[in-house]
Amino acid sequence: GLARVALAVLDAALPGLAEANAAPLAAAFARRLAPLLRSEAEARLFVAPGLGAGTAALLAPDGITVEEDDAIAPGDARAEWRAGGAAFELAQRRQEIRRILQEAGLGLEG
């Protein structure tokens, strides 16, 4: 069905889109958390290797500390602070889209 085609397109396009837009995606995630990340002394944003400088440049006006982490895929990001954290994971978002389509009965089985 159409839902299956949509997910196939998403699966094919997502890795390239995530890699090409990884720094802006991480920066957008951090900006949503900016008040918290600025107020916590030990708060940091973690991004994929090679994306630290680009992401930090995008976030320079926000004063958010950016570090690289080998465990993070391009397009994903993780924020940590003393009392908690949050993650932006594209694979998790794709799974959520799949779940919603299945619950809507859009024929993803088989």
- HEC states along 53-110? HHHHHHHHHHCCCEEECCCCCCCCEEEEECCEEEEECHHHHHHHHHHHHHHCCCCCCC
Whether 61 is in a domain gets the answer yes
Whether 44 is in a domain gets the answer yes
Higher pLDDT, 90 or 110: 90
Residues forming a β-bridge with 47: 68, 77
Global pTM exceeds 0.75: yes
Q: What are 54-89's pLDDT values in tens digits?
A: 999 999 988 899 999 999 998 899 999 998 999 999
Q: Label the pairing between strands 77-81 and 66-68.
A: unpaired
Whether 93 is in a domain gets the answer yes
Higher pLDDT, 13 or 62: 62
Whether 67 is in a domain gets the answer yes
In this structure, are residues 101 and 3 in contact, taking their beta carbons and an 8 Å threshold?
yes
Whether 109 is in a domain gets the answer no
Task: Report the alpha-carbon distance of residue 34 to residue 29 in Å, rounded.
Answer: 9
Whether 66 is in a domain gets the answer yes
CATH number at residue 68: 3.30.2320.30
Number of domains present in the structure of the chain: 1
Q: What are 22-59's pLDDT values in tens digits?
A: 899 999 999 999 998 988 888 999 999 999 999 999 99
Whether 108 is in a domain gets the answer no
Whether 16 is in a domain gets the answer yes
Q: Give the domain extent around 7.
A: 2-103
